[in-house]
Structure 1
């Protein structure tokens, strides 16, 4: 049975199930802490049969833990598939491989880390006309991160501002005048992990090493207190390997199209 997380006991059980899980503890734990008591935020959280939990926002889901085996597991997978279809979710990240009717596996995300206390060699500094802002205005940053979608930019802006206002993480941006042309941030944290995300360079500034410098700089700062982690698609693995980050597992990735019968 899928249970919505609404009571203190359910919240405690949700946190227990994600404890110690790289990526999931920091990301899902932060979202539950910041948005779990505010349904209007768009985030919703569920306890699933077995040891699994589910986070949903819009069409995107994240599942941590495992459904039961045997006949009970078949029933749980059927319920989950119907539940996701009812809510029109079409992407799903999972801790473990998961077979659901109508869902197709895509290339998994690679999880990278910089262990606490370590530091990477700093790449060459950016051009002198760019200025590092350690507390940039998040509205133009959101437009850089999601240049092609005002709706996604607005969602990112709201979530990032909430996280930063609660002392979760940091944002960095390189400014050309007042315009951010490269950014990276950390908007989810647990006691032991800082999760980096939203590393983007404006198209007209790509190929100049800005992201290398900014990502390494923030990672080194964060690693002084926590292990730093982030996930990426396969095409970026070579880039992060060159910077010196260490692979630390995979996050499974699934998609579906409910319009196809």
Structure 2
């Protein structure tokens, strides 16, 4: 039976199921800790049969752990399929392809900088740009999601809540007060800092801004935690050149549901 995470006992069990899982512990754990008691946040969290944990936001689900084996697993998979269908979830991130009928999409590559390690810092950006580690988050949200006000609002909520609780941080380069490149860390566990939202404005790309910001933040975070982040395979050469090591992959599957 799928159980919504609503109590402190549920949250403790959710944390136990994702413990030690790269990417999942930091991201799902942070989201659950910050938002599980606030239904209006748009996030929801569930315990699945077996040792599975599920996080939902919009049309995307993240699944950590496995359903039980045998007949019980078949019943659990059928229940989960119906649940995702009902909620019109069409994108699933998981440790491995977990459900029949879902189409394999391009996996995400998980990159790593181990705790205590440091990468060579690329050349500093042009002096006309101003560095800040306390940018205004609404302009940063517009830079990260320029084409979607809904995504801007969701990112703004996550970033501001994470920063307010001492979990998150953001760095940006400003051109006359406007962010043109940013990267942040908005999800952390005891052992992992997860970097995300590395974006450069189109007109500023190709000048080494992102590499300088990303390596600088990764080096700072790696003094206390292992640093990880995910990327599409097309950026493999870029992150390899910066010195990051590919540690794993996150499976990404999609499904188009028939209209009701």
Cα pair 2:159 2:168 within 8 Å, conserved: no
> In 1, distance between residues paired with 2:131 and 2:147?
24
Residue 6, structure 1, aligned to residue 18, structure 2: no
Tell me which residue corresponds to 1:37.
37
Tell me which residue corresponds to 1:189.
188
Tell me which residue corresponds to 2:96.
96
Tell me which residue corresponds to 2:178.
179
TM-score by length of 2: 0.98
Tell me which residue corresponds to 1:52.
52
Instruction: Please provide the CA RMSD for this pair.
Output: 1.1
Tell me which residue corresponds to 1:78.
78
Q: Secondary structure at the match of 2:252?
A: strand
5+ residue gaps, structure 1: none
**Structure 1 residue 137: deviation in Å?**
0.2
Q: Secondary structure at the match of 1:107?
A: coil
Post-superposition CA distance 1:64-100 (Å, at most 9, x none): 0011112211111111111001001111100122133
> In 1, distance between residues paired with 2:50 and 2:171?
40
5+ residue gaps, structure 2: none
**Structure 1 residue 4: deviation in Å?**
0.4
**Structure 1 residue 259: deviation in Å?**
4.2
**Structure 1 residue 260: deviation in Å?**
6.4
TM-score by length of 1: 0.97
